[in-house]
Amino acid sequence: MLYKKILEVFRKNKICPFCRRNKKLIILENKTAYLTPAQAPYTKDHLLIIPKRHVLELIRLGKKEKENILDLILHGMKILKKKYPSVLIEYKEGSLKNAGKSIPHLHFHLIPKLKNALDIKITSDRRKFLSDKELIIEVNKLKKS
Ligand SMILES: [Zn+2]
């Protein structure tokens, strides 16, 4: 399914996909945040780090919550650095519209970068939304790596 279609469904029904994450899609979690593959990935092995609390901006998080996010960023990078020469960390600060976020719940992206592939991002119009079933296979692979 196309990501932009599912986004319309989320908006219409006021669903936050990051608050209702299927536990089976979590690679690693701590008390306040979790690491999960992106369901509408830019690239293969695109990971997200998401606080469990529904907040939009980093300033709303407490010290421990920020530390827990950093721990998971480091864990995700460790996984990706085994397979890829470099990893891009992306975070958009600001309101949905101004920052160009698609989900109103803050998240950090870890995007693996292949050698000689400077721009391998899929444009938002073509981003696919993967099913939980497809994603669980990826989670199990990533947990083992
Ligand atoms: Zn949320």
pLDDT at 99: 77
pLDDT at 125: 66
Ion ligand 1 residue ranges (Cβ < 5 Å): 16, 18-19, 54, 105
pLDDT at 116: 58
Q: Is 49 exposed, middle or buried (0-12, 13-18, 19+ CB in 10 A)?
A: buried
Low-confidence ranges of the chain (pLDDT < 70): 115-125
User: In this structure, what DSSP letter does residue 101 have?
Assistant: -
pLDDT at 22: 92
Domains contained in the chain, CATH given: 3-139 (3.30.428.10)
**d(CA 48, ligand 1 centre) in Å:** 13
pLDDT at 118: 54
State the CB neighbour count (10 A cutoff) for residue 134. Answer: 12
pLDDT at 12: 93
pLDDT at 119: 53
**d(CA 52, ligand 1 centre) in Å:** 8
Contact in structure between 8 and 23 (CB atoms under 8 Å): no
DSSP for 15-60 reads --TTTS--GGG-SEE-SSEEEEE-SS-SSTT-EEEEESS--SSGGG
State the CB neighbour count (10 A cutoff) for residue 121. Answer: 15
**d(CA 51, ligand 1 centre) in Å:** 9
